[in-house]
Structure 1
């Protein structure tokens, strides 16, 4: 396996992990009925997860 292949594999694993974290964050916010703070453009926005 070349260095480039290893980097691609690591990148894929990181992206899968980030997707799982995002899903768990949304589930947690829904369970606690709290707002999610995000940045849209130059503004900080609080939204309720649905």
Structure 2
């Protein structure tokens, strides 16, 4: 694995772990996730989202 790919892998894994911890925290506090969807600020119930997410190239 090249150094660039290795760094990318570590960054993606860190982002996935951060998302997991955020969802856990929001569930514990019973607090909505606040996101921008189609230019609108929306609140999402943390119990309505997946507890983990996998990064896929080409998203976003």
- The normalised TM-score by structure 1 is 0.88
- Residue correspondences, number: 47
Structure 2: segments with no counterpart, 5+ residues: 48-60
- Calculate the aligned-residue CA RMSD, in Å: 1.2
- The normalised TM-score by structure 2 is 0.74
Higher normalized contact order (CA 8 Å, seq sep 6+, divided by chain length)? 2
Greater Rg over alpha carbons, structure = 1
